[in-house]
Chain A
């Protein structure tokens, strides 16, 4: 069973969202997602300052197995990207909820967070998919 921390929010595309305060959220992929991907070898992330709407492509994760798009789970502006992933993409596998984070977004539509899944909702979704 994969690890699903109860203090985070989730979306069906297997990303997690952590509230960092001040209208900023951190985003990464879940433990379940990194397990499906296998060893991550490259992560391509957007530039700081770029604006995205929900569902936009914001990057690509390449694992040994396949390339997967990352979609913006919420609308907003990129305020930080995890530059560590450039040299150490394996952090996505070893610490998906910590050092393996991808980006931080300043939200432009705070109301969108109402549609996010909680840990139980995400766990159910993973169960239904397996």
Chain B
């Protein structure tokens, strides 16, 4: 049996089908993952993401430490609560993990600190990697926050439904949030972030309050959603999943994460920089694309992509898109791919359309 989140009993009460995931017992669905998916695209759904790992980074040199640890540059966080998506790379330029980092304090006040959220399946490796690189920096301390539960409420009606159950003062705080910004409130943390391509919040809640919070959201007609819907939603949104779409052997430049690498200022040294600069100078041979199968069938991870009769890459994540009613995938292929290619599906070569790796945003199809 895996670890249980503080919402485990709620999941059982709400008829969740529980599966092992990264050492945790998590809901895969509460009946139908497709129905849960549609709820998030059209109304509001909630996910228990308490298995994610939250680490607070404090100490005098915490900013300089993160500027060295991460490929994106936390100097871009100029406002309290602002969030940044980044890869954490190894010396070879491979992705150790992808993460979100929040600036927790006013940037004009001394003693600034950050909150980092990393994946659960990579927790031990990430914590070791982060700890291994603190020595050069003065007073940097890493504090894991396992007592914080996390609930993601996502969908066009998510903010309104969350606000309907909160105190007036908290509603004011949430009303002031811009996308990719968070705010702390008496030990809770509300961030306008997510992993679905919809508006919504990710809320960190002290674990003793999370069951009541979940129940209140349920009573406000927010649909409980499992990891199954979370996967189809993130894939439609073109968001990477660590371990499938990239890992330690994959460069961010070949994983549609080039935009997360802050090359400027050129004198900022970060782990993996020199390897990435060499790759960039040599030209990156592979890129991440989106595939759309307009006929019947479902594209799956590890199916081979064929261009002009030759194997030229593979699908990293594939699924059925409930919003589009057809199958979509992300694939890493040779950079010269044209606007169609073939996929070897169970021994049959099937033609697919090649698009940018983003399929649905705010409920609407985004490719043509």
Contacts and interface: CB of A to CB of B under 8 A. Distances in A.
Contacts of B228: 38, 64-65
27 contacts: A38-B28, A38-B29, A38-B228, A39-B32, A39-B33, A39-B34, A41-B34, A41-B298, A42-B296, A44-B296, A60-B346, A62-B296, A62-B297, A64-B33, A64-B34, A64-B228, A64-B298, A64-B319, A64-B320, A64-B322, A65-B228, A66-B300, A67-B298, A67-B346, A90-B32, A90-B34, A93-B32
Contacts of B296: 42, 44, 62
Contacts of A42: 296-298, 320
Interface residues of A, number: 13
B358 interface: no
A44 B298 CA distance: 12
A44 B33 CA distance: 21
Interface of A: 38-39, 41-42, 44, 60, 62, 64-67, 90, 93
A38 B319 CA distance: 13
B232 interface: yes
A94 B268 CA distance: 57
A64 B298 CA distance: 8
A84 B92 CA distance: 53
Interface residues of B, number: 15
Contacts of A39: 32-34
A41 B232 CA distance: 13
Contact of A62 (B28, B33, B34, B298): B298
Given A42-B296, A65-B228, A67-B300, 20 more contacts: A38-B28, A38-B33, A39-B34, A41-B320, A42-B297, A42-B320, A44-B296, A60-B346, A62-B296, A62-B297, A62-B298, A64-B34, A64-B228, A64-B232, A64-B298, A64-B319, A64-B322, A66-B300, A67-B346, A93-B32
Interface in B290-311: 296-298, 300
Contacts of B320: 41-42, 62, 64
Contacts of B300: 66-67
A67 B173 CA distance: 46
- Give the residue among B28, B29, B33, B298 with the most A Cβ atoms within 10 A: B298
Contacts of A38: 28-29, 33, 228
A39 B297 CA distance: 14
Contacts of A60: 346
A65 to B, nearest CB: 7
A62 B296 CA distance: 9
A38 B297 CA distance: 16
A39 B298 CA distance: 13
A93 B228 CA distance: 16
Contacts of A93: 32
Interface in B3-31: 28-29
Interface in B338-363: 346
Contacts of B34: 39, 41, 64, 90
Which 4 interchain pairs have the tightest Cβ spacing? Answer: A39-B34, A41-B320, A62-B298, A42-B296
Contacts of B319: 64
Nearest to A42: B296
B356 to A, nearest CB: 23
Contacts of A65: 228
